[in-house]
């Protein structure tokens, strides 16, 4: 008769195991708030990064052309051509700030409504809690 006994053992997960299990489960749960926040961050980065990349590209091209003109003037003795090339390099450098502002405004106009809507939804969720 002793052979038919039922034996059951239970061990609860430790605190460390529980935290690990919860973090894994959280990675697979659908969280609309986190998705909205991630979308908001992506849109904001898209607006700012587009403007910054264009402005940096213009600035770098302008500095390189300006440097070429300076090298032509100082190292190669081509004064007139070097001054002309340096002046041509100043143009893109001078356009960096206006180009940045233009592209930033255009991005805000294009994505602004969605950014405001998402931020209001997220803020309304915070107030409701």
Q: Report the distance separating Cα 116 and Cα 108, nearest Å.
A: 10
Q: Does residue 116 lie within any of the structural domains?
A: yes
7-16 in b/e form (b: 16+ CB < 10 A) is eeeeeeeeee
Total number of domains constituting the chain: 1
In a domain, 40, yes or no: yes
Task: List the chain pLDDT tens, one digit each, 129 residues.
Answer: 457 787 777 777 889 999 999 999 888 888 888 889 999 999 999 999 999 999 999 999 999 999 999 999 999 999 999 999 999 999 999 999 999 999 999 999 999 999 999 999 999 887 766
Q: pLDDT at position 6, please?
A: 77
Cβ atoms of 88 and 65 within 8 Å: the answer is: yes
- Tell whether 54 is covered by a domain: yes
Token digits of residue 47? 């607006």
Specify if 39 maps to a domain: yes
pTM: 0.72
Question: Is 7 contained in some domain?
Answer: no
Q: Is 20 a domain residue? A: no
Phi, psi at 10, each rounded to 5°: -130, 135
Q: What is the DSSP string of 71-86?
A: HHHHTS--HHHHHHHH
> Where in the sequence is the domain holding 101, given as residue range(s)?
32-128
Q: Does the residue 97 lie in any domain?
A: yes
Among candidate residues 78, 54, 79, 82, the one with its CA nearest the CA of residue 66:
82
Q: Does residue 91 belong to any structural domain of this protein?
A: yes
Counting beta carbons within 10 angstroms of the beta carbon of residue 104, is it exposed (0 to 12), middle (13 to 18) or buried (19 or more)?
middle
């Amino acid at each position: 008769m002793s052979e038919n006994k039922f034996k059951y053992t239970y061990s609860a997960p430790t605190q460390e195991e529980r935290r690990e299990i919860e973090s894994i489960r959280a990675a697979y749960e659908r969280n609309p708030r986190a998705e909205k926040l991630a979308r908001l961050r992506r849109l904001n980065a898209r607006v700012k990064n587009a403007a910054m990349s264009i402005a940096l590209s213009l600035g770098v091209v302008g500095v390189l052309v300006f440097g070429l003109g300076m090298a032509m003037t100082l190292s190669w003795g081509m004064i007139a051509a070097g001054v002309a090339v340096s002046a041509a390099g100043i143009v893109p450098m001078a356009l960096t700030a206006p180009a940045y502002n233009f592209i930033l405004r255009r991005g805000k106009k294009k994505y602004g409504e969605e950014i405001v809507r998402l931020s209001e939804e997220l803020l309304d969720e915070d107030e409701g809690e």
